[in-house]
């Protein structure tokens, strides 16, 4: 059966998963069994035994601009990532229809360039405003 043979290929992955779960749980269990139990007191149970007392929230506040810039970064980053395989995969084919391949990528870059201009004009990179 073809379907079964396909699934069989994933057996190592399954084994890896099982192993990972077993290992992490095993370590916890072993540390509880083997570890020496110390004396407990409220002071000892605080996060730090020295310095300031923990008060307030964990996360600091970010400017909303950060998210915008982060998103744009990812967008243009993906573009660069896309360029690598393009450069590698089509090297062989460049001899026959190089113009076409170059044209395709140029139009892709062109569209992104319009996006860049748009972002600049909309002052998405302008941190202060």
Partner 1 sequence: MNLALLSHEWLVVALGLCLLVADLWTPASARRILGYVAAAGLGAILLYSLIAVRPELQPACGNMYVLDGLALFFKRFFLAAAIIVLLMSAEFFDRLQAGIGEFYALVLFALTGMLFAASANDFALLFVSLELITVTFYVLASFQRTRLNSLEAGVKYLIMGALSTSFTVFGIALVYGISRKLNFNDLAAVAPQFGGNRIFLFGLLLVLVGLGFKIAAFPFQLWAPDVYQGAPSPTTAFLAVGSKAAGFVLLLRVLFVAVPDITAQWSRLLIVISGITILYGNLCAIPQRNIKRLLGYSSIAHAGYMLLGIAASAATIANTTQNPGAGAAAVLYYLGGYLFAVLGAFTVICLALRHVENEDIPALAGLGQRSPLLATTLTLAMVSLAGIPPLAGFFGKFLLFKAALAQGPAHPAYYWLVAAAIAGVVISLWYYFGVVHAVYWSKEAANLSPISISRTMRATLYACVAGMFFIGLCPGPLLDCAAEAVKALRL
Q: Name the residues that contact partner 1, by CB under 8 A.
A: 3, 6, 97, 100, 111, 114, 117-118, 121-122
- Please check whether residue 123 is in contact with residue 129, taking contact to mean a CB–CB distance below 8 angstroms: yes
Q: Which residues contact 124 (CB under 8 A, 6 or more apart)?
A: 68, 69, 72
**Would you say 44 or 121 has its CB closer to partner 1?**
121
Cα–Cα distance, 29 to 47 (Å, whole number): 23
Q: Where are the alpha helices (DSSP H) in 35-126?
A: 42-45, 64-89, 94-121
**Would you say 6 or 41 has its CB closer to partner 1?**
6
**Would you say 6 or 31 has its CB closer to partner 1?**
6
Nearest distance from C-beta of residue 68 to partner 1, angstroms: 15
Nearest distance from C-beta of residue 13 to partner 1, angstroms: 17
Nearest distance from C-beta of residue 6 to partner 1, angstroms: 8
């Amino acid at each position: 059966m073809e379907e079964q043979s396909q699934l069989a290929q994933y057996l190592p992955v399954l084994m890896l998963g099982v192993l990972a779960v077993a290992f992490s749980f095993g370590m916890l269990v072993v540390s509880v069994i083997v570890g020496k139990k110390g004396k407990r007191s409220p002071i000892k149970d605080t996060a730090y035994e020295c310095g300031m007392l923990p008060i307030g929230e964990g996360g600091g506040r970010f400017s909303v601009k950060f998210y915008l810039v982060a998103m744009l970064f990812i967008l243009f980053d993906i573009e660069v990532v896309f360029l690598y395989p393009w450069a590698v995969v089509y090297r062989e084919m460049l001899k026959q229809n190089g113009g076409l391949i170059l044209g395709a990528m140029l139009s892709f870059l062109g569209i992104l360039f319009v996006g860049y201009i748009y972002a600049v004009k909309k002052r998405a990179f302008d941190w202060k405003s």
